[in-house]
A and B are shown apart, each in its own frame.
Chain A
């Protein structure tokens, strides 16, 4: 039944402006709202050594005003129009997006085009945002248990510095950023021919196209940036390490593997294998460790999806008094079982149905679709993959999963990061609380692959990153039906930072 499941095809119109800006329109008149996403082909992978954290710093700079938009006015315009907005940075790209009542489409295009065309890059703005980013790093990374350890994971898996360094970057590199660096960065990467614009929702195609041409066609193209070398040796860079974490209230560990790029057969298979191992109450590791042995507080895992070599990881937080080595053995046993016996027929049915379910859910939100279309347009030059990607996943067999797990996960080529609480004064220990990977605020935890849960509420993108206004929506007792309470499943925008 599930094999013949078909998504209703999306209406998609693609065109490219003379300056190289790729545009995707997907009308849907169900509600009078419109979502706009602008994706620039620049992420931490583009940063050279000594300039780490630059892509993310630049994301902050994009809210500092442009020729016709005063500093910090961007979000005022959006809020006062009844919209929501955000921007995020990953290894692969930097994105900016907003959802508005559909009649405010011109406002969104004006705002996005003005900063693409004429960002105000000044020493004052740079200093100001550098400070903001450094404060952000201190508060949300350096001052959180397990988070710095998690950044370390990528440095252990990847040997190529383009892949290994964190998106937040180092304090020293941020300090070293000069105004000329920033101007050069803007010229090279924030060019229309290095970006994709998607619009999903309640609009007329011809009218939207006219507006896009009006606001974006006068922005000059630039020479395309050089290709990035993200190639990796087969082996992980650093197999074992002990990480003293002064904020960690209890020991924990991370296991990580280097795996093939996104949209390869192996990646699809490993994504599904990961789902069976660690996603949800019915997953093998949850049933074995949280339920069966009652030995862990939580076990989580995920895949870091990249255009180049990617990562697969598992994070375990043992209960007090439980032996982490024994828990690790149990995890390896379960991986071995998957690598030798493969998924059961029941598990394959579960995968098929949850893939279909998640694909359908993803159709509800215009913002979720705008983001998916932009990813496929930017990475694969084919936004229509939004309709066919499900078929790639559904074509994966039990044998494919078994083989991929045997080849890439049930191997000695992996990293083991042992996180031990470091001696710290009492106050620090009390302040700590675990935020295991998977938390949307977690920096290095990548978004789950398909099955990607779409954002269930408009606030979802706001949870991931807020350049100017971090926790924009305070989460407390909902007091108005217009304040949708947090959902049972968090949305999955691209993850912070």
Chain B
């Protein structure tokens, strides 16, 4: 028998918090303009390295999207004195790691090694950054593999959604392009890499960040000697065209026939990372959709069961940004999900968030902060973002104070300023014929595209008379087929329905009909509980198909025909 323990009835209060020591980086600039940031962190004989350049995909030549990322990947694939294989072997032999990549704002060459191999990994980093040879065979292999990867990406609805949202939100701004094309990959020749490398990967545009078991003066001397021949280049200018100003709500439907889910993104224009509204917006984002205890998740997932997760994304980059609400939802509840999304977007604008919500959000952000500084890699990546996005040098020191300083009023102010449902771009990737009419109540202005991004139209559906008895079969997950009857009657201007099967009978009440799609909600008694049931589907001539969903159980598909 378990003894009662009354002390358990309340969550215990926290203990006295312990202070966080946030390491102070030392920074100097070498004569050729290379900025060096060092954090001496001697807890373990380990060092993390990042050589980061303020040049990313946004600087790709317009006819060569993806060039920077391809180039970064090719840096460790051959230098004037080492083959790709030799580089891989030398890195492996010292048990280290070395890799390179780019995002839209910056390019990073990253490494990590035991402190005793400091000199060797630095020499390798210097070699791949200063002397890449872009061998023809490696360029060709990278092109092939990138094209193969692109083919795989286009099969993913999340990629299609991200491609479309960037295109409509950023317009002429280079963030509009998120991926290369097979043609641009083919045009990315060795010569293009050589030129771009020479012009853009220059020391006065770079920061070398080193965190770990090193001695500041030693490391600076070492870098001076390794990079002494590296010459200053032209300054990069970020005079990109401004993203378009949105004035109305438009839906962009990407028709992906057979899609089991709808990927939804509702986007507004946002801010750059250095905008003073960043912290109030970060708090609003945390309340609304940053994590699994935020409003969107609690509503669309926990309460409604439409999705595995609904979130917001505060996409604040160096030269522009967006604020997005996103979820992948079951096809039949696409419209219902939009309803909840717009409800939450309006609510955060119209009503002040509660004291508890702002306190929880502050507690979350300030609590997770030190966990993210626990590892060398974690701290190093924070420093990369600070330097690349030109955040203040005391950013880490003041982060928690800035979070704490945000008020309820400020949250509402930024909600009204940046969350604008009436000017939003609504992107849906899903089965066009199944979701078009679900979207229409939330947006009259709908542009339809195919998965290659070309405009298309969806044929008007075959006119169907839903009234009558439909004989259907439910296919359960266990492979059982359960026969049922769906009866639809017209009652003046509206429709009602009834569902009967060996499982029981249910009155569907009012049925929502849009062209040939229908949906209805009811509940059935099971084991003494009232279990909500959702039924939805479409009619095509004498054929019907759709889904029956019991609470958060997997949807059971059905097909059938008119009696």
Contacts and interface: CB of A to CB of B under 8 A. Distances in A.
Contact of A360 (B5, B44, B85, B311): B44
A282 B88 contact: yes
B132 interface: no
Contacts of B465: none
Contact of B391 (A72, A249, A481): A481
Given A81-B367, A84-B371, A354 B309 contact: no
Interface stretch (A36-44, A385-393, A422-430): A422-430
Contact of B365 (A455, A470, A482): A482
A356 B553 CA distance: 48
A473 B291 contact: yes
B221 interface: no
Interface string A462-473: 000000111111
A149 interface: no
B375 A350 contact: no
Contacts of B13: 106
B463 interface: no
B257 interface: yes
Interface range, A side: 35 or more
Interface string B389-404: 0010001100100000
B398 to A, nearest CB: 12
Interface stretch (A128-136, A223-231, A254-262, A372-380): A128-136
A22 B285 CA distance: 41
B298 to A, nearest CB: 9
Contacts of B46: 357, 360-361, 364
A353 B93 CA distance: 7
Contacts of A355: 95
Contacts of A454: 375
B364 interface: yes
B19 A456 contact: no
Interface in A62-108: 67-68, 72, 75-77, 79-84, 99-107
Nearest to B144: A294
B364 A82 contact: yes
Given A68-B8, A297-B148, A480-B282, A357 B364 contact: no
B308 interface: yes
B316 interface: yes
A479 B316 contact: yes
B245 interface: no
B552 A82 contact: no
Contact of A353 (B88, B114, B311): B114
A287 interface: yes
B374 interface: yes
Interface string A99-128: 111111111001000100110000110001
Interface range, B side: 35 or more
B95 A365 contact: no
A434 interface: yes
Interface stretch (A155-163, A308-316, A326-334, A484-492): A484-492
Nearest to B141: A294
A346 interface: yes
B96 interface: yes
B237 interface: no
Given A31-B371, A82-B363, A481-B395, 10 more contacts: A31-B374, A68-B9, A84-B368, A110-B11, A128-B551, A131-B553, A135-B552, A350-B93, A479-B317, A484-B372
16 contacts: A32-B18, A32-B370, A75-B293, A83-B367, A103-B14, A104-B14, A132-B552, A219-B2, A357-B46, A358-B95, A427-B258, A431-B260, A470-B309, A472-B291, A481-B381, A488-B110
Interface of A: 1, 8, 29-33, 67-68, 72, 75-77, 79-84, 99-107, 110, 114, 117-118, 123-124, 128, 131-132, 134-135, 138-139, 143, 171-172, 175, 202, 207, 214-215, 218-220, 249, 280-282, 287, 291, 294, 297, 319, 346, 349-350, 352-358, 360-361, 363-366, 425-428, 430-434, 454-458, 468-474, 476-482, 484-485, 487-489
Closest 5 A/B residue pairs (Cβ)? A82-B367, A427-B258, A353-B95, A354-B95, A282-B92
